[in-house]
Amino acid sequence: MLGDYLPDKLKAEAAKRITAGVGAVVYYYQINTTPPKDKYCIIIGISACGEKIGVVYINTNGYAPTPYLMGFQIPILQSEYSWLRYNSYIDSSILIEKNKNEIDDHIQRSVEAYYKGEISSDLINQIKGNLGISRRMSPALRAKYGII
C-alpha cells in the first residue's frame, strides 16, 4: 500500500483527520459478541447528537439461526474489498449502538490497525433497506439513525 511508504509523522497527522463516518469500516475488539473477538464493523448511521453510531457486523460465515434471518446476510467479497481476509457476510438484520468517541479514539491511535476503508454507497443502501424491514429493529432505533 502507498501509505506504507509515508513517514510515521505524516501517517499520525492523517489519522487525526479521519473520523468514523457512514460507510467507514473499522476493525476492533468487540466485547458484546460470543465469544468476544476482533470484528469488522460498518458504520451505518450517526445519531443527531453525534455521540452514538450504529454499526452492523461482518461475519466470516453467513450462518443465521432461522431462514428469516438468513435473508439478511449480504455477501461481501474479498476481491472487491482488499482489507477483508475472506469472502464474508454482513448481518443487516440489526444495528448495534456504539460510542462514536470510542471508535474515533481507536482510529486516531492507529489508523492502519483500526480503519480499514469504506464500502460502496450501493452496499450502504442495501444494508439500510434491510434494516428498514427487519423485525429486530425498533421504530425508535430506525428513527434515531435515519433508517426508513
Ranges of the chain whose pLDDT falls below 50:
1-3, 14-17
The pLDDT of residue 5 = 57
The pLDDT of residue 21 = 84
Kindly state the cell numbers that stand for 130.
Answer: 434491510
The pLDDT of residue 31 = 87
Residue type for position 65 = P
Q: Where do the DSSP E strands lie in 7-71?
A: 24-30, 37-46, 52-59
The pLDDT of residue 8 = 61
The pLDDT of residue 71 = 96
For residues 71 and 24, the answer to whether their CB atoms sit within 8 Å is no
Q: Bridge-partner residues for 107, per DSSP? A: none
The pLDDT of residue 140 = 94
The pLDDT of residue 102 = 82
The pLDDT of residue 1 = 44
Burial class (CB in 10 A: 0-12, 13-18, 19+), 1: exposed
This prediction's pTM: 0.83
Rounded Cα distance between 129 and 127, Å, is 5
The pLDDT of residue 73 = 97
Rounded Cα distance between 102 and 120, Å, is 24
